[in-house]
Amino acid sequence: MAQDFTTFANQTPLENTPPRSGSLEQSREPEHSFTRQLKSKPSVRARLRQALAGKINAMDKSELQRSINSRVLPQIPEHAWDCTVAIVAGRDQSVFQFGTGTLFAIADHFFVVTAAHVIKDAVKHSCSLGISSGRSKFIPVVNDWTVTSAGQYGSIDDPLDVAIYHLPQDSVERLDGKTFLRVDDIEFDDQPDTAVYTLFGYPAIWASTSTDTNTSVQLKPLQFTTYRFDGVTDGLGNYQDELHILLSGSSHDITDPDGQPVNYTKLNGDAAQFPRDLGGISGCSVWRIGDLQTSIEDWAVEKSRIVGVETSVYPSRNAIKASRWVAVSTLIHEAYPELRPAMNLWRQR
C-alpha cells in the first residue's frame, strides 16, 4: 500500500533553545509493570487454566493472578526498553514529556518511530523536540520529521498516524546503551484473537516538568500487558481492522506483578482515568509476547516481536489502538527510495 506523507520542519533545536539545555532522570521501577486481569472473562480464564497446564488448583483470585503474572513477566522482552525513547518537548523555559518513540534501523539508516500526531501537535504549539538517550541528557531533534498524511484509506483524518525521524550519525553515537530494532524484530502477520501484547511507554502524568537549570525532567515508565479487544467496534472513529490492532484496557482489570489490583494515579497521587490519561505513551511500541492457546512457558519458543505503534485510545470502550507496523515500513519505503532494494529483500523471504 502506497502512502502519502508530509515533511514537517523542526522548530529551533531543543538543546539550542534559550536559556538552557535540559536533563532527564529515567526510572524503570518494576511496580509500574501492569497486567490485565486475564481471568476476568470465562473464556479467557479457561484458556489461562489450560496454559498453566493444571498447575493451579484451588486459589483465590489474587493468587491466581499472581501465579499468572509470575509466568507472563519472564516472557516480556527486556530489550524492548533498550529500543524505547522518551520524546520531550521544549517551549519557553519548560521541558516536558510529550511522546514515546522506538529506535529502528534499516541497513545503515537509523530512525525514531512515533505517532504522527505527536509531531503535528509539537508543530502546532511551536515546541522543539528532543529524545532521551542512554545518558541523563536528551538529544535534540535537528532535522525534519516525515509523517503520514490525512485523507487516505477512505478517512478524512490520518488513519495511519505514524512518523519517522532519520537520526544523524552524531545522534546515533550519543544513544549509549540503546538498541535499534531490525526487520527480524518485526511481525507483519495477521494477529490471532488470542494474542497477548505488552506496551512500553512514558505517561506524561508520571513525568515532572523541568522549568529551570536546577531541575530535570523525571520519567517513569509504563509496561502494560493486555490482549485483543473483544467488544463492539461499531462507531469507533478512524478505526479500520486492516490498518489497526485494537487492545483491551480497563482500570478495573489492572494488576501489579503480585496479582493485586492497582489504581492508576497521577504523579501527585490523584486519581487518573485509564486509558484516557495515557497521554505521553503515544508512539510507543506494541509487542506480541504470546498466545493464550499456547502454554505460557512455551511462549519463549517463538520470539516476541513488535507489531504496531500505539496511536490512540477509546475511553468509552476501554480500548487502545495501535497502527500496524506495515504503516511504518511503507512510510520508509515511500520516503527513502534508496532503501527499497533492502526492503524488497524482506518481502521475498
Q: What is the pLDDT of residues 146-155, one digit of tens each?
A: 999 876 666 6
Mean pLDDT (whole number) for 295-321: 94
The ranges assigned to domains in the chain are: 5-17+24-32+74-347
Q: Where are the beta strands (DSSP E) in 67-201?
A: 84-91, 94-106, 109-115, 128-132, 138-140, 145-148, 162-166, 195-201
Amino acid at 310: E
Mean pLDDT (whole number) for 38-59: 49
DSSP category for residue 136: S
The predicted structure's pLDDT at residue 155: 61
With contact defined as beta carbons under 8 Å apart, do 147 and 6 qualify? yes
Q: Which residues pair with 313 in a beta bridge?
A: 320
Q: What is the pLDDT of residues 18-33, one digit of tens each?
A: 323 455 566 544 345 6
Grid coordinates of 193: 484473537
The predicted structure's pLDDT at residue 153: 62
Going by pLDDT thresholds of 50, 70 and 90, the confidence category of residue 311 is very high
d(CA 198, CA 191): 14
The predicted structure's pLDDT at residue 44: 53
Q: 42-56, 222-236, 242-256, 270-284: lowest mean pLDDT where?
A: 42-56
The yes-or-no verdict on residue 12 having pLDDT over 50 is: no
Taking all residues of the chain, what is their mean pLDDT, rounded to a whole number?
84
The predicted structure's pLDDT at residue 212: 83
Highest mean pLDDT: which range of 35-44, 195-204, 241-250, 268-277: 195-204
Grid coordinates of 123: 508543530
Q: What is the pLDDT of residues 177-187, one digit of tens each?
A: 899 999 999 99
The predicted structure's pLDDT at residue 63: 85
Q: How many CB atoms lie within 10 A of CB 228?
A: 17
Q: What is the pLDDT of residues 99-147, one digit of tens each?
A: 999 999 999 999 999 999 999 999 999 999 999 987 778 899 989 999 9
DSSP category for residue 161: -
